[in-house]
């Protein structure tokens, strides 16, 4: 399929280009010493990760350790409440550690092992990436430093405990808003001092090249599985696929399986408390082109052109930019990006829990909320949602801050 001049038959092989650009977005805007480290990772990725030995080991890990493939579930009761549209979810909440993040963390950990690195360094927001990387580090026998904002540490206590139990060193960040953006800043500074012995394992399809490409490729297993499973279950493709977007790793994982199909694709950003700058984290909806954390994308800026303060009920989505591939597909028009607010998200959290017995991550609840709205607009058809994680980590926060529905 060709869409606005881009051939999606060969898209995943041709994007990004050799310099890490998706059109004008992406690249590696980092100091020379860090650029050399990025080049080392890129070279290792293209040599090691494409070898039959690496692929065989990664497939074995996915099958025997992660529990892949994860299933697709039909949401019969929720669908029935919304009309004639059938809603399905890809159950990444059933992936080991409870979210999609392990898909790329095991790949990055395996790469670190092959490169002879001794330590993995990363940031985390909701803690899902931190738990996944701590799990990978334990599996491969690597040291693990996780940087996490003080605000998120308080909101996500269960995941902090998991990281520590797994042997990770959780480093509290008390700068700025003390959330995900500041955690990334701190992790990058640490990596700049240790890059010879460590590998930075970024938590999404963001950062300097090769991370947006590498994380997408490791996450593409979600879309590959989902497409095959949905065809097997229903005999046809879904009419729409939906995923939440912060940095955008779970979304690119699912979307990559359907970009070349006649399927409507929706990325859902957090509107938070409203449209005012500082009350949301909807960079693709309200942002403009800009560079942060070593890559060019669409970001939210303050009056000085610096990354703006952002907010979301979901710690995993409160980031002032999105992956460069999302920015490219946004401008191209292949993916529709929209928003839901905190209230819609929390309502969806409870709806899925009470109607289907599935407690979703508050990040994933954004996608569920949008699918519920979309189902009411569609007269018939089917929607596939990426349920990117489970909600154990969010239960205390939601119960303390929101009324229980009657």
Query: Could you confirm whether 373 is annotated as catalytic?
Result: no
Tokens standing for 378? 């569609």
Give the separation between CA 396 and CA 263, rounded to whole angstroms: 37
Give the separation between CA 12 and CA 25, rounded to whole angstroms: 16
Comparing CA positions, the residue from 171, 154, 165, 93 lying closest to residue 128 is: 93
Q: Which of 204, 220, 283, 388 is catalytic?
A: 388
Crossing angle for the helix pair 102-115 and 211-234, to the nearest 10 degrees: 130
Comparing CA positions, the residue from 380, 392, 341, 371 lying closest to residue 90 is: 371
Q: Which of 123, 182, 269, 325 is catalytic?
A: 123
Query: Could you confirm whether 101 is annotated as catalytic?
Result: yes
User: Helix, strand, or coil here: 222?
Assistant: helix
Tell me the DSSP string of 144-156. EEEEEEHHHHHHT
Tokens standing for 315? 């710690």
- By the 8 A CB rule, do 69 and 224 touch? no
Give the separation between CA 87 and CA 241, rounded to whole angstroms: 10
Phi, psi of 139 (to 5 degrees): -65, -40
Q: Which of 73, 92, 101, 225 is catalytic?
A: 101
The set of residues, in sequence order, having a beta carbon less than 8 Å from that of 397 and lying 6+ positions away, is: 155, 156, 362
Query: Could you confirm whether 193 is annotated as catalytic?
Result: no
Interior/surface letters 52-90, b for 16+ CB within 10 angstroms, e for the rest: eebeeebeebbeeebebbbebbebeebbeebeebbbbbb
| Active site (catalytic) residues | 101, 123, 388
């Amino acid at each position: 399929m060709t869409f606005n001049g881009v051939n999606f038959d060969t898209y995943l092989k041709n994007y990004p280009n050799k310099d890490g650009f998706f059109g004008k977005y992406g690249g590696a805007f980092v100091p020379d010493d860090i650029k050399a480290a990025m080049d080392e990772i890129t070279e290792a990725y293209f040599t090691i990760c494409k070898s039959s030995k690496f692929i065989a080991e990664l497939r074995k890990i996915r099958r025997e350790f992660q529990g892949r493939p994860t299933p697709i579930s039909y949401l019969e009761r929720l669908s029935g409440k919304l009309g004639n549209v059938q809603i399905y979810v890809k159950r990444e909440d059933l992936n080991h550690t409870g979210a999609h993040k392990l898909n790329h963390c095991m790949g990055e950990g395996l790469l670190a092992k092959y490169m002879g690195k001794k330590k993995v360094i990363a940031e985390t927001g909701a803690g899902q990436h931190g738990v996944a990387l701590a799990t990978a580090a334990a599996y491969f026998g690597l040291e693990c430093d996780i940087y996490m904002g003080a605000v998120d540490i308080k909101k996500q206590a269960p995941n902090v405990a998991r990281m520590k139990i797994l042997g990770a060193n959780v480093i509290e960040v008390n700068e700025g808003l003390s959330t995900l953006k500041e955690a990334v800043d701190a992790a990058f500074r640490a990596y700049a001092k240790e890059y010879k012995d460590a590998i930075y394992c970024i938590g999404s399809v963001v950062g300097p090249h090769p991370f947006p490409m590498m994380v997408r490729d490791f996450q593409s297993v979600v879309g590959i599985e989902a497409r095959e499973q949905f065809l097997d279950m229903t005999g046809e493709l879904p009419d729409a696929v939906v995923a939440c977007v912060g940095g955008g790793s779970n979304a690119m994982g699912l979307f990559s399986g359907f970009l070349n199909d006649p399927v409507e694709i929706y990325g859902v950003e957090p509107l938070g408390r409203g449209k005012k700058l500082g009350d949301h984290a909807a960079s693709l909806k309200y942002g403009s082109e800009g560079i942060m954390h070593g890559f060019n994308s669409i970001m939210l800026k303050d009056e000085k052109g610096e990354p703006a303060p952002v907010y979301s009920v979901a710690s995993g989505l409160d980031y002032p930019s999105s992956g460069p591939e999302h920015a490219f597909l946004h401008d191209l028009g292949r993916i529709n990006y929209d928003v839901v607010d905190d209230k819609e998200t929390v309502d969806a959290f409870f709806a899925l829990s009470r109607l289907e017995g599935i407690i979703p991550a508050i990040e994933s609840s954004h996608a569920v909320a949008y699918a519920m709205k979309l189902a009411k607009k569609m007269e018939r058809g089917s929607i596939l949602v990426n349920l990117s994680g489970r909600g154990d980590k969010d239960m205390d926060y939601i119960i303390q801050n929101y009324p229980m529905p009657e």
